Structure 1
């Protein structure tokens, strides 16, 4: 995810703070209920790794209504999932990532299905009865989100409001327990599993409201996505369809030139088809590129089917690459930020034909695979190690095993973790499977723990 990337040769960092560590269904109208439920309950291809135990493919139903300018949204959210662990579940956790820069931008209340206590970005919900293994459960709550006064992925820029990581989502419990890791001020600390969303965004007609998902009968339907994001404002919009059949829409703020917007759209059209050929077909059918002329702390930020970009000179190819590396092939971004950032940077080089010859600097004193806990305390090194050296390591791997083997590796690795959660061990195993050379010394010499 990519709240920062390079602007020319200089990094642009996202700085965010996190004080945390830890009616049941939305109203539906007429026959819309039936269509939405069919879409949400239809079988979906999903490979769930053993380390991502709970939840498995949760379902979110949300209805929100905006104020006149789209800055505040209020309504009801319900979350349903099955306890797929072998243990009774006596507590459930939600993340309010939108509160990472303060603790009042996202407010939840009036819980059903359990009682809740909130600590800024962490909500602990105690179900009315512990959830037995194999049993489904649903929790519901009222939610109000107000875009804070900052030019950020969740924030306000002039007449435009942006709601990235604003919607409350379930935390993940795996073999290490519940993941309630903090936001460390740069990059991303997020960890989510693929989920199904049905979100109705009610708003005044003069607002443009791009979002994750496909709009069907006034409801944004998104299947197998890790986040749901949207924006609101008087955007100018245009669209194109790629040769591969993917609809690419641009939503631009009023100060951007039509030429810069068209260039961004053209780059995205080329990238989304190229990455589909390399890594597996893009599964969502459409993507919205939301362009702003200024961000305080970043130049691009990706969400499934929805990308925030600065314009002109946006890192559009990098952010489109994140649709695969984080979006489709997920990872714990707090523990393993290189698994998406290095891959998106390397994918950008593949697309542009940049082989990064001679890029490897030699022995490194710090592992590329360090967690966001480390990078939060060493912020000046984060970009160089995770993006630059991380992608260079992948180029070095390609040079070692050969370009055909590397292409097979990325295709099979993506396929085997499609809509799942990958780990460093998973990638190492996939790489070893396509190589006749023992890669143990490669990982050691290239600072991958």
Structure 2
């Protein structure tokens, strides 16, 4: 996500809508020839835990959290924890419940905890079914919303995500800072089903199956993908355009009532940005990239294999396109705990802007909090301007720190180390230590990132 105009405001949500989805896995492997992470289990392996508890995260929203009721989700995910924790004492069976997770006391909370009926052995497969509904707010500048005037609704990360970060459960509190706080394992999207009035178009993620018209006046749209980290759906009066180049297909949806640029222009600009980024980071990790241009959004929000954009001029705001497409590598392909280590996707996306624009000589002066690039989102919550300070420190200072680290060594060697980081951590949730491992042969670059506070001091 890129929000240079963060104003730290909140938005109320109302008016319930229902969209049904059925997700199951696993068996997917790395997409488009990306290497499976070394020493980690890919999405085809089973999740291992011995705590007797499952945790799932709701979307980190500025204006509300999903209310759990009605929508069914079926998932089986997999990543091996570095060190499974032993459960001390007996496992107790309880109903699923929502925990506050930093949310207001009168809200359902951002954390859903599902204590298991009994302790589970390492390698045991668990099927978990959660039912919930999501409230869409009209005109919200968020990943979940709708426009009555344009007859368009959109919802992304709109269901609980298995919040396993590779070493333990991601239990970070939600904080009042504009931005994503998502942690999710990668999973096979066996089936995403969206039923909508037949006059509406529908976008999703992955590969679409032929739509099926139903007798009740609705059409069933089905999507699947070998591996994703979350999903997003847009439904409504939309104009769709599909363009392909270099093995990548871009599907763009714009409001049928009009947008600043036609869908064809959006598609070409996204393909151009993807080509420029591929020169540095390798092939786009997904065969299809779904782009929704939304009337209620001002900037951009990233997903694995999809992006939400505001109704902007894609040529005049090319930096925004580059930033969001870069998230297909940094967040989509290699995940991170966005609450604990937000710089690991946002700073890299800002760094990508510098590479593509040719601006490899940014100022060394910090515009945010000096030495705080690697701080968690909760660090910024108590600042006088949380959103602005967060963007200046994590995005701008973080991107500049990576540019400076690259300039301090052989740029080609740094580029190769970044590609190695992407390959070795593909479809995993990476930590700063994983980046240190990839940069092991470039100690000067590592020290630059330590000096900027992106990486922890040596020995910690």
TM-score > 0.5 by shorter chain:
yes
The answer on whether the counterparts of 1:339 and 1:424 sit within 8 Å (CA) in structure 2 is yes
| Displacement after TM superposition at 1:82 (Å) | 3.4
Alignment of 1:36-435 (within 5 A): 40-41=26-27, 43-44=29-30, 46-47=36-37, 57=43, 82-85=46-49, 87=50, 89-97=51-59, 101-103=63-65, 105-107=67-69, 115-119=95-99, 120=108, 121-151=110-140, 152-158=142-148, 159-172=151-164, 174-197=166-189, 198-217=191-210, 218-242=221-245, 244-257=246-259, 259-295=261-297, 298-313=298-313, 314=317, 315-355=320-360, 357-361=361-365, 365-378=370-383, 379=386, 380-433=388-441, 435=442
Q: 1:366 to 1:416 in 2, by over 3 A?
A: same
Q: Provide the alpha-carbon RMSD of the alignment.
A: 3.2
Partner in structure 2 of residue 72 of structure 1: none
The answer on whether the counterparts of 1:255 and 1:293 sit within 8 Å (CA) in structure 2 is no
| Displacement after TM superposition at 1:12 (Å) | 3.7
Q: 1:288 to 1:279 in 2, by over 3 A?
A: same
Q: Which runs of 5+ in 2 are unaligned?
A: 13-19, 75-92, 100-107, 211-220
The answer on whether the counterparts of 1:181 and 1:189 sit within 8 Å (CA) in structure 2 is no
TM-score, normalised to structure 2, is 0.77
Q: Which runs of 5+ in 1 are unaligned?
A: 19-25, 29-35, 59-80
Q: 1:361 to 1:421 in 2, by over 3 A?
A: same
Greater helix share, structure number: 1
Once residues 351 and 318 of structure 1 are traced to their aligned partners in structure 2, the CA distance between those partners, rounded to angstroms, is 10
Q: 1:109 to 1:285 in 2, by over 3 A?
A: closer
The answer on whether the counterparts of 2:28 and 2:227 sit within 8 Å (CA) in structure 1 is no
SS across alignment from 1:290: strand
Query: Aligned residues, how many?
Result: 394
Once residues 361 and 428 of structure 1 are traced to their aligned partners in structure 2, the CA distance between those partners, rounded to angstroms, is 24
TM-score, normalised to structure 1, is 0.78
The answer on whether the counterparts of 2:66 and 2:133 sit within 8 Å (CA) in structure 1 is no
| Displacement after TM superposition at 1:425 (Å) | 2.0
Q: 1:98 to 1:381 in 2, by over 3 A?
A: closer
| Displacement after TM superposition at 1:345 (Å) | 1.1
| Displacement after TM superposition at 1:101 (Å) | 2.8
The answer on whether the counterparts of 1:115 and 1:126 sit within 8 Å (CA) in structure 2 is yes
| Displacement after TM superposition at 1:311 (Å) | 2.2
Q: 1:118 to 1:49 in 2, by over 3 A?
A: farther
98-107 or 376-385: which moved more? 98-107
